Amino acid sequence: MHASAPATTRSDEIRAAVADIAAPTLALLPIGLLFGALATASGLSPGETVLMSALVFAGGSQFAALELWADPVPIVAIVFSTLLINARHVLMSASLAPRTQAFAPWQRLVGFHFLADELWALGERRAAAARLTPTYWFAMVAVFFTTWMATIAAGAALGARLGDPARFGADFAFPALFIALVAALWKGPATGIAVGASAAAAAGAAFAVGPPWHVPAGAIAGIAAAALAWRPGPMDEGRTR
């Protein structure tokens, strides 16, 4: 993915946002279809599946909830596991919030409801090159969220007729998407140290105790490694004088 040129008009920003979110949205297609099919197979109606996705909008924790879905529903287990998985949103929102000076308070509240890993990464990249504006952010949200809901609705309607998505390679869509996002945010050896530590900790936790503990383990290790590897740059040194 290539960074778009700084926008000068609202139309420019919309075009830039659509261009930037296009590849992540394409990767979203098999994921949404898969979730819709799995949700109906787990006993949710197509309407319940669509409503859940609109209100929650958190792909990873939605899949985790389906893995635990049973009759009766284990509410405590689902809440705890999804809380762990979504804890990363606290860090992402804290990171992105200072970049949203152009947002009105209500725009932050509404916009952060749609916060996703892909949108966070592209928002951070945009803020590093130009001003992050509500126009750019909500244009990305419109494309990404609409596609997510449409593919989930299609997956719920088609259900089991989709078959095993692994035979199409759809199970690799998520990993491929995040590899691309990491590459787009690469800033040298310090990034590699953080990514390596996070991957090692997540893999170790997944092997030792299983999901969802690999998510917070990877996040904590990555943050700790990034903090240890950080060195002040020219801008940081200027602020400390």
Whether 57 and 164 map to the same domain: the answer is yes
Does residue 14 fall inside a structural domain? yes
Domain that holds residue 68: 10-185
Q: What is the pTM of this model?
A: 0.69
Distances (CA, A) of 81 to 60, 63, 64, 65, 219: 10, 11, 7, 8, 15
**Do 227 and 181 have their domain in common?**
no
d(CA 92, CA 115): 8
Q: CA 95, 197, 20, 118 torsion: positive or negative?
A: negative
- 64 and 102 share a domain? yes
Measured in Å, how far apart are the chain's first and last C-alpha atoms?
36
Would residue 198 count as lying in a domain?
A: yes
Please tell me whether residues 31 and 116 are part of one structural domain. Answer: yes
Measured at the CA of 74, the angle between CA 117 and CA 114, to 5 degrees, comes to 20
Query: Would you say residue 5 lies in a domain?
Result: no
- Do residues 223 and 178 share a domain? no
Both 220 and 206 in one domain: the answer is yes
Same domain, 78 and 104: yes
In the block, which residue shows the tokens 């990767």?
Answer: 27
203 and 236, same domain (yes or no): yes
Q: Nearest-CA neighbor of 28 among 115, 146, 135, 124? A: 146
233 and 178 housed in the same domain: no
pLDDT truncated to tens, each residue of the chain (241 aa)?
Answer: 444 545 468 999 999 999 999 988 988 888 888 888 888 887 888 899 999 899 888 877 787 777 777 677 777 777 777 777 777 788 889 889 999 999 999 999 999 999 998 899 899 999 988 899 999 999 999 999 999 999 999 988 887 566 555 565 655 655 665 666 566 667 778 788 888 888 898 899 888 987 667 777 877 888 788 778 776 654 444 434 4
- Phi, psi (deg, nearest 5) at residue 6: -55, 135
